A and B are shown apart, each in its own frame.
Chain A
Amino acid sequence: MPALEAVRPPLPKKPFNPTPVWLSGWLALLWLIVVDLDLSFETLMYGAQDIVEYFSRYSTPDFADLSRYVELLIQTLATALWGSALAFVVAVLLSPLAARNLTPNATVYRIARETLNFMRAMPDLLLALIFVAALGLGPLPGALALGIHTAGFLGKFFSESLERVDGGVYEAVSATGASRLQVVMYAGWPSILREALGYTLYIFDRNVRMAAVLGLVGAGGIGLALHDTLRMFNYNESAALILVILVTILIIDYLSTWLRGKLN
């Protein structure tokens, strides 16, 4: 068969495959991080047994204080609700300005976009801290913090949806002599209403989780109770609290998924 080998035409040059480079770079980065953070897998391994023992302490939840927990839970849900409502209102006002095909001019667009980005980037915890300092303890600062932070997300989602609407539809309403506001109300929002409601439900879901946690900085709710019980090594009550939080989040999750399904 030597004759065949001599005749075989060469393949084109194989294109450079960057995957091994990326992969080794990634692994190297992970290794560097482990070293830099001084993480010791030995402690984790030795700790593994300890951890199992540790988690066994949560095995007998104590529901004695259940009525108080439920009260705190309602407060948490209320915080999430008001926060999401605030976020919705702010997003509705800002998002048309942050949509390239609806904004009046480039400056307004930039400002609206950057404002939304800023609201998104500021952790709600930081905002909660600030509002607690200004308003005192309680769920209200938590609701404000959630509202402002998630307005950034919602505003971005809304403006991106508005940008995806067929430009011709905006043009048609505008060609009747309608004002910009009317174009937004009649061609913008009706076209994205389903998506917008879906996003809002998603944000509400997210806010319920965050509201549970904001209590840690004094912004009310059930987070503070959990912090206290853990600090006092009260594992049984902590377990009860965690279960209450867990069940609530699961229910809200289920409801919001069901509602989103109905929207589609």
Chain B
Amino acid sequence: MSSSRLCWPTPNGLPALGPTAVLAACVALLAISGPAVELDLMRLIAAIPRMIEFGGHLLVLPDWEYLPTLGVNMLQTLEMTFLATSIALVVSLPLGVLAAANASPHPMVFHITRNLLTLMRALPELVWALVFVSAVGLGPLPGIMALAFVTVGFMGKFFAESIEVIDLRQVEGVAAHGAGWLQLRTFAFFPQAFPDFVGTVMYILDHNLRAAAILGLVGAGGIGYDLVMAMRMFDYDRLLPIALSIYVVVTVLDRLSDRFRRRLI
């Protein structure tokens, strides 16, 4: 009956070492961290009727009077996203150059800038928002500051990486005609990295919109505040409109940025 014995497509019939080891490591990690995450099947199952009940609560007529405020707050969220990303863009361009190994003026500058960018993006936006709210008060300003700060960390890194993969021969060509340091970066580095830059900005815009939508949780402006309040006060007639408007705006931006990216590249 050897023809019906099962085996894997390897020389010894056992599963390949690499994938098995990785799988085993993951399962082990999950098993160890199970208690830390308070994994409890009973709790999950018990929650299902509550989830269904919650879903039922959501299906009510929206709070029509609230809708204009919803519009204003969503607009504020969009504005925060756009402004913060724009500020970050302006700051990240020079920082990206400084953090690119092939465009930086000095290795020391390169290392310092790279590490600075790493630190700037290490903490999530919400943490910075908490801190800035504590510093300048409530409102969209701390949100914009937090978003811009973290975005510089990411954008600077992505820009630097895009600059590092350009064709140096094109730079040589421009340099051979006596171009200065800044001119080289403007006319030889930047145009090559431009398509990647556009892609990065689109991606970050998308990410920032989602981030801006939750900053309101800590009072840093945007729709996040409405969202949390609606949950806490059980304003079900506001929850669905808020969730839907976030969904719609995020999706529209997603599609728009896809199209925009295709046109520019």
Chains A and B directly touch (beta carbon < 8 Å): yes
A245 contacts B123, C-beta separation under 8 Å:
yes
A1 part of interface (Cβ distance < 8 Å): no
A174 part of interface (Cβ distance < 8 Å): no
Identify the closest chain A residue to B37 (Cβ): A78
Identify the closest chain A residue to B76 (Cβ): A37
**B interface, size bucket:** 35 or more
What is the distance, in angstroms, from A128's C-beta to the closest C-beta of chain B? 10
B224 part of interface (Cβ distance < 8 Å): yes
Contact with A along B34-69 (1 / 0, CB 8 A): 101111100110010011001000000000000000
Number of interface residues of A (CB under 8 A): 61
Contact with B along A67-86 (1 / 0, CB 8 A): 00000001101110110010
CB contact under 8 A between A36 and B228, given known A122-B243, A227-B130: no
B contact residues around A246 at 8 Å (CB): 119, 122-123
B38 contacts A140, C-beta separation under 8 Å:
yes
B217 part of interface (Cβ distance < 8 Å): yes
A129: contacting residue among B76, B218, B231, CB under 8 A = B231
A50: contacting residue among B44, B51, B130, B135, CB under 8 A = B135
Stretch from A3-11, A99-107, A130-138, A177-185 contacting the other chain: A130-138
A77 contacts B33, C-beta separation under 8 Å:
yes
B33 contacts A135, C-beta separation under 8 Å:
no
| A55–B144 alpha-carbon span in the complex (Å) | 18
| A30–B148 alpha-carbon span in the complex (Å) | 14
B contact residues around A230 at 8 Å (CB): 130-131, 134
User: Which residues of B213-235 have CB atoms within 8 Å of chain A's CB atoms?
Assistant: 213-214, 217-218, 221, 224, 227-228, 231
B29 part of interface (Cβ distance < 8 Å): yes
Identify the closest chain B residue to A117 (Cβ): B251
A108 part of interface (Cβ distance < 8 Å): no
| A133–B54 alpha-carbon span in the complex (Å) | 9
A contact residues around B213 at 8 Å (CB): 123
B168 part of interface (Cβ distance < 8 Å): no
B231 contacts A133, C-beta separation under 8 Å:
yes
Counted as pairs of residues, one from A and one from B, with CB atoms less than 8 Å apart, the total is 153
> What does DSSP make chain B's interface, helix, strand, loop or mixed?
helix
What is the distance, in angstroms, from A31's C-beta to the closest C-beta of chain B? 10
> What does DSSP make chain A's interface, helix, strand, loop or mixed?
helix
A85 contacts B79, C-beta separation under 8 Å:
no
A37 contacts B80, C-beta separation under 8 Å:
yes
B83 contacts A78, C-beta separation under 8 Å:
no
| A245–B213 alpha-carbon span in the complex (Å) | 23
A253 part of interface (Cβ distance < 8 Å): yes
What is the distance, in angstroms, from A39's C-beta to the closest C-beta of chain B? 6
A47 contacts B136, C-beta separation under 8 Å:
yes
Identify the closest chain A residue to B52 (Cβ): A134
CB contact under 8 A between A81 and B30, given known A216-B217, A242-B127: yes
A39 contacts B29, C-beta separation under 8 Å:
no
B123 contacts A134, C-beta separation under 8 Å:
no
User: Which residues of A81-102 have CB atoms within 8 Å of chain B's CB atoms?
Assistant: 81-82, 85
A33 part of interface (Cβ distance < 8 Å): yes
What is the distance, in angstroms, from A198's C-beta to the closest C-beta of chain B? 13
What is the distance, in angstroms, from A188's C-beta to the closest C-beta of chain B? 16
B contact residues around A210 at 8 Å (CB): 124
Q: List 19 A-B contacts (CB under 8 A).
A: A30-B82, A36-B75, A37-B76, A37-B80, A39-B140, A77-B33, A79-B37, A121-B247, A125-B217, A126-B214, A126-B243, A134-B50, A136-B43, A139-B37, A140-B38, A230-B130, A230-B131, A242-B131, A245-B127
Complex A-B, nearest 8 residue pairs according to Cβ-Cβ distance, in ascending order: A78-B36, A78-B33, A121-B250, A78-B37, A125-B214, A209-B124, A33-B79, A213-B126
Further pairs besides A47-B136, A121-B250, A123-B214: 18, Cβ < 8 Å? A30-B82, A36-B79, A37-B80, A37-B144, A50-B136, A75-B37, A121-B254, A122-B247, A123-B213, A125-B217, A125-B227, A133-B54, A134-B47, A140-B39, A140-B44, A213-B127, A216-B217, A230-B130
